Amino acid sequence: MQQKLMQQKLRGLPSLTALRTFEVAARYCSFKQAADELCVSQAAVSRQVKQLETQLDVELFVRSHRRVDLTEQGNKLFQTVHRSLADIAAISCEIQSGPRLSNINLYATSSFSRLWLVPRLNQLRRVHSQIHLHLISVEENPAMADKFDAGITLGLEDNSAYQSDFLFSEDVFPVCTPAFLEANPTANSIEGLMQLPLLELDAKFWNAKWWSAVDWSFWLDQQGLDCADVSAEVSFSHFPMLLDAVLQDVGVGLGWQHLVQDMLDDGRLIQPVTERYSAPGRKHYFVCRKDLAQKPEMKLLRAWLLEQTAIFRV
């Protein structure tokens, strides 16, 4: 019985388009402003309101030359329609966004985390305070079978459960401090560099990587030089340690642009020679689970990372 009564009431429901048009017109007390918001003509607004008044057999507006005002019955209808549309809009947003992510577990190498991401965390918090990161330092790409939330990966593993965005490719060149170059002016040529203390990552560092090692022998070979007699004076298990040694004027190290650009910009480091090894095939990606990709926090993080790394994609 109740179901039949509800069906009868719904059959008598006015046009939803007319109700939506009426709500905007009543909110502004203006058919012209309603037309602007709805992107229709003023005549179309007038027709929809007239249709609603005819169906309800009541005047909803008192019309004057420059404006319209709600009648008593019109105000009653406006209060109900406005509240109902607001409720529909709110629940629609809730359904679309789903539950909020309390934390985004973001995997990245210790080098990227320490040298690129951590210096930018305050800026990220200022512009997107709703993003809460749980940073997880790794030395190899996270396993997609573990269903991680998101990561900055070296290369890309094809997996239908994840989506990816290209961030940057690798660009590698020698770096040292201005003081080191002043004390060792021969560092401004490759031949001169080969006579100075060279610092590099050890072979074990590259075991977890998808790509071959970029050490001094490899880098010099890319410049077309015979490097059979060149060996590093000190090797390091992690890039931040190597960079600390460069900053302490221990020697010259190879620097990855995305990791050292901030120090080049503020003058702590310089590039003593113009030669570099550009590797467009050694690509880094932002990867996240597709079932989390449309969460507001994940969308903001993705957009922020793409914006911040745009300089390296020029």
CA torsion through residues 297, 302, 304, 305, sign: positive
- Overall number of domains in the chain: 3
Assign 3-class secondary structure to 10-21: HHCCCCHHHHHH
Closest CA to 106 of 79, 59, 138, 68: 138
For residue 290, the enclosing domain spans 104-163+284-313
Distances (CA, A) of 217 to 200, 254, 272: 10, 11, 18
**Burial class of 68 by CB neighbour count within 10 A (0 to 12, 13 to 18, 19+):** buried
Domain match, 275 and 289 both: no
Domain match, 6 and 35 both: yes
Domain match, 115 and 178 both: no
End-to-end Cα separation, the chain, in angstroms: 68
Digitized pLDDT (tens) for each residue of the chain, 314 residues in all: 556 655 666 666 888 888 999 998 888 888 888 888 888 898 998 999 999 999 898 999 998 877 788 999 988 998 899 888 888 877 776 665 555 567 899 999 999 999 999 999 999 999 999 899 999 988 888 877 677 899 999 888 888 899 999 999 999 999 999 999 999 999 999 999 989 999 999 888 877 566 788 999 999 999 988 776 678 889 998 999 999 999 999 999 999 999 999 999 999 999 999 999 999 989 999 999 999 999 999 999 999 999 999 999 87
Q: Give the pTM.
A: 0.67
| CB contact at 8 A, 38 and 21 | yes
Domain match, 194 and 244 both: yes
Domain match, 79 and 221 both: no
Q: How far apart are CA 3 and CA 126, in angstroms?
A: 52
Domain match, 153 and 76 both: no
Domain match, 159 and 304 both: yes
